[in-house]
Amino acid sequence: MPNNQTSIAVFVTGGTFDKEYDELSGTLFFKNSHVKEMLALGRSLVSTRVETLMMKDSLLMTDADRDLIATKCKFATEKNIVITHGTDTMENTARYLAPRVSNKTIIITGAMVPYKFDSSDGQFNLGSALAYAQLLPAGVYVAMNGRFFEWDNVRKNKKAGYFEERKKNRV
């Protein structure tokens, strides 16, 4: 592996990305993160340090959880960070982190479909997030659907099932 490569901290927080399916009850639940498996299957050569901070549905995430994420980002030795996160509130976490963490490139990503499902977008989104973490300047971004969005210009379009720029109020 090249020595001049950027090292990336990957912080796992849960979300659909890491959910498992219980065929008997028909419910989704958390067991272990799939991030290391995804990196191995993708044959990633990016230097990463993976740390699980929590395994939570993002709808249950609190400001205390976001504060933990911010603290981990601030004190990470890496300047480049990817956060796996549930899609329902990732834009809230992006807005929370932006004023609290500076001089780091933080990419928040997730999946609309769990990784363990054949139709998952998780692998694609994780790969995109790793690439953006190496290329974008310091700031907080959301990476979904092959695109990146600045922290203050993103929203989940729940009807269409993808992320897009927020509609700005026109004067």
Per-residue pLDDT reduced to its tens digit, 8-60: 999 999 877 776 666 677 666 567 777 788 887 788 879 899 999 998 988 88
Query: What confidence score (pLDDT) does residue 84 get?
Result: 94
Beta bridge partners of 142: 108, 149
Amino acid of residue 89: T
Query: What confidence score (pLDDT) does residue 171 get?
Result: 46
Q: How far apart are CA 43 and CA 35, in angstroms?
A: 12
Would you place residue 4 in the very low, low, confident or very high pLDDT band (cuts 50, 70, 90)?
A: low
Query: What confidence score (pLDDT) does residue 1 get?
Result: 40
In the numeric block, which tokens belong to residue 63? 């400001």
**Alpha-helix residue ranges (DSSP H) falling in the chain:** 35-41, 63-75, 90-97, 122-135
Query: What confidence score (pLDDT) does residue 40 get?
Result: 79
Over range 48-74, report the average pLDDT: 93
Over range 74-98, report the average pLDDT: 95
pTM for the model stands at: 0.86
Q: How far apart are CA 119 and CA 102, in angstroms?
A: 35
Yes or no: say if 125 and 109 are a contact pair by the CB < 8 Å rule: yes
Query: What confidence score (pLDDT) does residue 3 get?
Result: 46
Amino acid of residue 77: T
CB atoms within 10 A of CB 4: 4
Q: What is the dihedral sign for C-alpha 100, 104, 111, 115?
A: negative
Read off the pLDDT of residues 87-142 as tens digits, 9 standing for 90 and up.
889 999 999 999 999 999 999 999 876 666 676 777 788 989 999 999 999 999 99
Query: What confidence score (pLDDT) does residue 112 get?
Result: 76
Q: How crowded is the C-beta side of 78, counted as CA atoms within 13 Å? A: 24
Query: What confidence score (pLDDT) does residue 26 get?
Result: 67
Q: Is the pLDDT of residue 61 over 60?
A: yes
Would you place residue 68 in the very low, low, confident or very high pLDDT band (cuts 50, 70, 90)?
A: very high
The position carrying tokens 């004067």 is: 171
